[in-house]
Structure formats: C-alpha cells, structure tokens
C-alpha cells in the first residue's frame, strides 16, 4: 500500500520456450499485475514480432458470435464456473451451442413485432382522434390530393387556415363540440404540400398522414386492436421461448463468451511479444512488491523454463496509486486535476485530511452542515426519487458532473459536513441564528464575526504550514532527482516564507522595535532566504518566489472570507424575512390583516428560498475554494502531474476458472486484486 508515494514499479522481462507461451500468458492474465509493453529495441533486434495464427483468428470469429448470442439471450441461471484447459476445448464447447440460428430468428422477429406494435399503437391513436368521421378513409385519398390529421388549439387552427392561400383548395373536417382543442382532417392539393408544412411548423402543429386502410376509422381501429392482440401474444410466446433457451444454455454461453474474451485479450497482448524459432520474450511494468510472486508463479507454470529478469531503464513508469480505503475516495479529485507521475509524491492523503478541514471551516454552521450531509447521503444512496425533481434542475446537475462523479463528491463531503456541524455547534451558528444563546444563554468562546482577527490569524498560520509543507515535499523531490540547486532553492523559499510571515506579524502586533528578537530574527531569515535564492537562481526568480510566498500564504485568509460571507448572508436573509413577518407589507393600502398575511407569506418564502440558495453556495464555494487552495497554493511547490495510469493486462473471471488452477487442493496461482 502506497502512502504519499505511488506504488514503486519495476521493468521486467520474461524469456521462455514457445511450448510454455500459452501457460505464461494465462498466468500474466490471471495475476493482473503486469502492464505489457512493446519490446525494447535491443530485444527487437534479436526477435521478430509475434504473429497471429489461424486458431487465433477463429477465436475472433467465435467471440463475435457469442457476444451477439449473449446480448440476445435474457439473463438465465448460472451454474458453477467452467474450466477450459486449452483453446481447442473452448472452440469445441462453442460448437456444441446450436441455438444461435433460432435465437437470431426470434430476436429479428421480435424486433419487427416491436416496430409493428409501435406503429399500430400510434396509428390507433390517430384513428381515435378522427372517430368523428364516419365515412370511408379511401374516400379521402386521390392522386392530386394529400390528406392529413391533426390536433391543436383553436387559435393555432384558425391561424393555420388563414396561412393557407385559396389556391391550396384546403378542405377541413373538424370534430363537433370541441371547446379548447380542435381535432381535424385536412386535405390539400399535392402542389401545396410545402406551404402546408411551413404553416404547420410555424404554428407548432403536428400533422400526420391519413391512417392507412379503406374502411371507416372505427372499422380500421377494430382491425388494428385485433392485430395488436395477436402481436402481443406472439411477443409473449417469443419471450417464453427465449427464457426456455436461456435456462438451458445461458450458463454455458456466458462461460464460453468469457473464455473467448480472455483469449482475445491474450491475442492482443501477443502483438507486443517477441518470437524466436523456439522461444518468446515479453517486457512489462510490474509493481515492485509483486515481482517475487510473479517470478514464482511463472517458474511453477513453466516447470522452471521461464526466466524473469529486471531491466534497468530510465523510462517513466506508469502510476499506480494504492491508498487506504477511506483515503482512496479522494483519488477522484487527484485524477480530476492530473495523475501524479510514478516518481513523485501522491498528494491524496494530504488532500483527504485538508479538504474536509477547509470545507467544514468555511461552512461553519451546523444547520447547513446537516442539510448538505443529508443531500450527500441521498446522492450516495443513488438519488432515490430524483425522477420527481424538475427536469431543468436534473439537467443542470448532469451538466456539472455525471452520477458517479456526484457520488464520489458526496463521499468526500461527508467528513467536511461533520466538521461543519461540530464547528457550528461550538460557534452557535444554525442557518444564521444563535439558537443556544437564545434558549440557554450560551456564549461561544469564538464568534466568527466579532473574533475575525483570531480566525484570520489561524487561517494565516494554516496557510503558512501548507506552503511550508509543499516546499518540503518539493525539496525532497529535487533531492530524489539529484538536483542540488533545486533543493537549496526550496529550502531557501521556506526560510524566506517564515521570515516574511513573522515580519508581517511584527508590524501588526507592534513587535517592530529594533531590539525585539522576533523582529530581528525574521529580518535575518528574510535576508538569508532572499540572498540564497538570488545566489542560486537569480534576481528574477527571487522576485517570483517573494510574490509567490506572500500571495500564497495570504490566499488562505479566503477561508475566513467565505465563512463570513455565508454567516452575513444568512443574517441578512433572516433579518429581512423576520421584518416582513413582524411588520407586514402595504398595511396602509390593503388593510393591516391582509398586509400582515402577505408579510408572513413573503417572509416565510424568503427564509426557505434564501436559505436554500445559501445551502447551494455552501456546497460550491467551500468545495471549489477548498480544492483551489490545495491545487494552486500547495501543489505548485512540488507537483508535476501528467502521469500515465497503470493498466495491467488481464481481467476478472466470473463464469470460468483459470486453467492453471488445480482441480483440487490449494494452487500456486494467487490472483491479484485489481488496481485502484
């Protein structure tokens, strides 16, 4: 498990005999610890690329067949996992499945019936709309005339009639007795079809061609209902037959499909192998912790004929983050920003600690914290009842982030919500009210508005600590990369940072007497830090470093600014709402009783709407600003990013077992967990 660092990677090569290639490839697939890479130029000079065989092409053909078969069959019972020791066994099992022809025919017929059912249902709807017409439909058809049916409101229908010129020879049949909506049949000359289409589109009227059939609408509707009954009965019969086939064959089909998928992965991986007349070679990135296990397994499956060796290289390894389970949820934010490189710091643990601290501090209200906590739990539960929310709100949320991302965000907000609830109870803040003070006479030790100086001092020291820690990680990174001047520059920036901070504090608290040791030490630290940076990196870099340390430390005071903005906005909302409720509105114009009633209504509405708006701000502002303080002021000291993710060769098995797993007793092959 990697903490503060991605998992260390090792480049390895495997050399073996052709006879063992299939078993080695199976071991690599099932262990899932090796990211197979193209061979290095030195190996390619001695070996030719591996080429696909006819057997492998047959695997591809059968894979397409079984994927279609599995997609067509309904999910059925699954028996114990199947075992296939060779590719020939998989292909032989595939040939024993004779149902693809019947399944394909049933699926094709069902698709056709679905289309027919949909069309018939729509046609039936139009026939019901023109049931007022008792004549025969064939009487409305002619070579020079087009007939349509439609439904609209009275003003739109009148506008449509006005828009059609007399040359269209438009004829209308309307349903009698309609007060609001007009159901109509409209016939026009073929030459006027374009004019009719434009007029209908302008009035937003949907026109449909006259339903097919020669009888009256009632007669055609009766025929369609009878046909719909037959179609639905046939679809039920098809579903029953498909379910019967699935009960008999789904277990084998899913197992063969999975086995073929595994073999297809192997075929794709073989493209990166090198081949000799009797030997093969492959290179891969493997977590250092798994090299010994991989070597032992390959030795076992090949009878000692496969040789694993490490390859010295300066190539950049892929990145595998492996944080503890609770911390792992915050990897979402790191990946969203940029994946760390394999040889630099993994900032997930610090983010998991600091982000909830920032979020809870900026929220600082146990009412808002509880509201956002409940919303987060609802998101984690899968948004139950979300379909009943307004469509505009759902579209807005989806435009920000997908459902999975929203759930990851909700998990990350939980600790921050608990901290906000704790601080809100301590500060006696509940949607801007001091409930404990009003009920029990509680006086909080710190008031966010009255004690703003103390909070600013806390935020400043917090920023100083974060910036310092960032420089420490940056200095260690430079040390690991053997950049001596980089180490000196980062350490000097720390000295400069603390010197600037305490010079500022000395000026604020009147410690700036020339004899004050704090002031003198701070000036000396500034001088040493600035002088060292100037000597090592030059004057331009010194100016940039000075601006950076000053602005980045002060930037953390936004924690207090956002806290105060939330508190003051809540107080303003409550004050206006309470004023409306107490005083009423417009008492001189409409009477005191009506005015007070309107005041209560508007006041209550303002409380709910205003506090709901502040809750939304309580999610976005602390979340965005908290992440920004980490991404900009902290990451900029040591973080490069742009790493490439570790993608091991292999996959999970559900319906099959590895051919390397012994039939009885424990086996040497220990499957690896999927990487995070």
Q: How many CB atoms lie within 10 A of CB 81?
A: 15
- Supply the pLDDT for residue 676: 45
Q: Which pLDDT band holds residue 589 (cuts at 50, 70, 90)?
A: very low
Of residues 597 and 590, more confidently modeled: 597
Q: Which pLDDT band holds residue 438 (cuts at 50, 70, 90)?
A: confident
- Supply the pLDDT for residue 606: 86
- Supply the pLDDT for residue 514: 67
The partner residues of 181 in beta bridges, in order of sequence, read 153
Q: For residues 531 and 525, what is the distance between their CA atoms, to the nearest angstrom? A: 10
> Contact at 8 Å (CB) between 6 and 320?
yes
- Which 3 state secondary structure label does DSSP give 283? strand
> Contact at 8 Å (CB) between 418 and 366?
no
- Supply the pLDDT for residue 577: 82
Q: Which pLDDT band holds residue 416 (cuts at 50, 70, 90)?
A: very high
Checking if the pLDDT of 283 tops 90, the result is: yes
Q: Does domain 115-230 have CATH number 3.30.70.2750?
A: yes
Checking if the pLDDT of 2 tops 90, the result is: no
- Which 3 state secondary structure label does DSSP give 113? helix
Q: Which is nearest to 614 in space by CA: 368, 415, 358?
A: 368
- In tens, the pLDDT along 342-390 reads 989 999 999 999 999 999 999 999 999 999 999 999 988 888 877 777 7
- Supply the pLDDT for residue 537: 85
Measure CA 92 to chain center. Answer: 41
- Which 3 state secondary structure label does DSSP give 173? strand
- In tens, the pLDDT along 533-584 reads 888 888 888 898 888 888 999 999 999 999 999 989 988 988 888 877 776 5
Phi/psi of residue 58, nearest 5 degrees: -65, -35
Measure CA 520 to chain center. Answer: 53
- In tens, the pLDDT along 75-112 reads 989 889 999 988 889 999 999 999 989 999 999 999 99
Give the pTM: 0.76
Query: What's the CATH number for 9-50+271-310?
Result: 3.30.70.120
Neighbouring residues of 275: CB distance < 8 A, sequence distance ≥ 6? 18, 47, 48, 49, 50, 51
- Supply the pLDDT for residue 67: 92
Checking if the pLDDT of 588 tops 60, the result is: no
Question: Mean pLDDT throughout 19-37?
Answer: 92
Asked which of 134-143, 401-410, 521-530 is least confident by mean pLDDT, the reply is: 401-410
- In tens, the pLDDT along 476-503 reads 999 888 899 989 999 999 999 999 888 8
């Amino acid at each position: 498990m990697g903490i503060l660092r991605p998992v260390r990677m090792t480049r390895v090569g495997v050399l073996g005999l052709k006879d063992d290639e299939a078993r080695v490839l199976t071991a690599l697939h099932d262990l899932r610890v090796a990211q197979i890479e193209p061979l290095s130029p030195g190996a390619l000079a001695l070996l030719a690329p591996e080429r696909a065989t006819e057997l492998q092409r047959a695997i591809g053909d059968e894979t397409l067949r079984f994927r279609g078969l599995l997609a067509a069959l309904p999910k059925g019972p699954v028996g114990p996992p199947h075992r296939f020791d060779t590719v020939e066994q998989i292909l032989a099992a595939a040939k024993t499945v004779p149902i693809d022809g019947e399944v394909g025919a049933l699926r094709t017929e069902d698709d056709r019936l679905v289309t027919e059912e949909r069309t018939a249902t729509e046609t039936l709807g139009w026939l019901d709309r023109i049931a007022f017409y008792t004549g025969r439909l064939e009487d409305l058809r002619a070579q020079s005339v087009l007939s349509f049916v439609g439904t609209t409101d009275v003003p739109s229908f009148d506008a449509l009639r006005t828009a059609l010129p007399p040359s269209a020879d438009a004829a209308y049949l309307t349903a009698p007795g309609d007060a609001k909506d007009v159901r109509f049949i409209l016939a026009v000359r073929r030459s006027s079809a374009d004019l009719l289409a434009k007029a209908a589109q302008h009035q937003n009227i949907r026109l449909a061609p006259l339903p097919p059939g020669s009888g009256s609408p009632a007669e055609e509707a009766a025929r369609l209902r009878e046909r719909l009954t037959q179609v639905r009965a046939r679809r039920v019969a098809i579903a029953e037959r498909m379910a019967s086939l699935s009960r008999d064959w789904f277990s084998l089909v899913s197992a063969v499909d999975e086995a073929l998928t595994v073999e297809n992965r192997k075929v794709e991986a073989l493209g990166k192998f090198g081949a000799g007349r009797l030997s093969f070679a492959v290179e891969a990135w493997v977590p250092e912790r798994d090299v010994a296990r991989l070597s032992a397994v390959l030795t076992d499956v090949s009878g000692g004929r496969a040789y694993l060796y490490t390859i010295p290289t300066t190539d950049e390894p892929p990145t595998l983050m492996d944080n503890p389970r609770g911390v792992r949820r915050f990897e979402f934010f790191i990946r969203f920003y940029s994946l760390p490189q394999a040889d630099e710091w993994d900032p997930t643990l610090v983010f998991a600690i600091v982000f909830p601290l920032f979020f809870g501090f900026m929220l600082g209200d146990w009412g808002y914290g509880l509201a956002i906590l409940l919303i987060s739990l609802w998101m984690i539960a899968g948004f139950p009842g979300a379909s009943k929310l307004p469509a505009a709100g759902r579209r807005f949320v989806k435009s920000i982030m997908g459902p999975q991302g929203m759930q990851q965000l909700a998990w990350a907000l939980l600790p921050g919500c608990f901290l906000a609830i704790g601080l809100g109870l301590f500060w006696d803040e509940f949607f801007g009210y001091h409930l404990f003070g009003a009920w029990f006479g509680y006086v909080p030790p710190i008031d966010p508005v009255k004690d703003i100086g103390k909070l600013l001092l806390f935020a400043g020291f917090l920023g100083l600590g974060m910036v310092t820690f960032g420089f420490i990680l940056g200095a260690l990174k430079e040390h690991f990369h053997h950049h001596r001047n980089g180490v000196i520059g980062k350490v000097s920036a720390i000295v400069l940072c603390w010197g600037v901070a305490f010079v500022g504090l000395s000026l604020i608290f009147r410690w700036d007497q020339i004899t004050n040791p704090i002031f003198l030490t701070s000036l000396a630290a500034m001088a040493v830090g600035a002088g060292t940076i100037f000597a090592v990196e030059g004057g331009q870099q010194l100016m940039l470093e000075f601006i950076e340390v000053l602005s980045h430390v002060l930037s953390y005071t936004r924690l207090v600014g956002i806290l105060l903005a939330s508190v003051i906005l809540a107080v303003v909302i409550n004050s206006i709402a309470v004023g409306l409720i107490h005083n009423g509105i417009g008492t001189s114009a409409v009477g005191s009783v009506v005015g007070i009633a309107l005041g209560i209504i508007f006041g209550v509405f303002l409380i709910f709407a205003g506090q709901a708006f502040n809750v939304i701000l309580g999610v976005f502002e602390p979340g965005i600003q908290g992440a920004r303080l980490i991404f900009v002021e902290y990451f900029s000291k040591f973080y490069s990013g742009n790493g490439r993710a570790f993608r091991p060769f292999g996959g999970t098995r559900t319906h099959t077992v590895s051919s390397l797993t012994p039939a009885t007793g424990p086996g040497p092959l220990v499957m690896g967990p999927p990487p995070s």
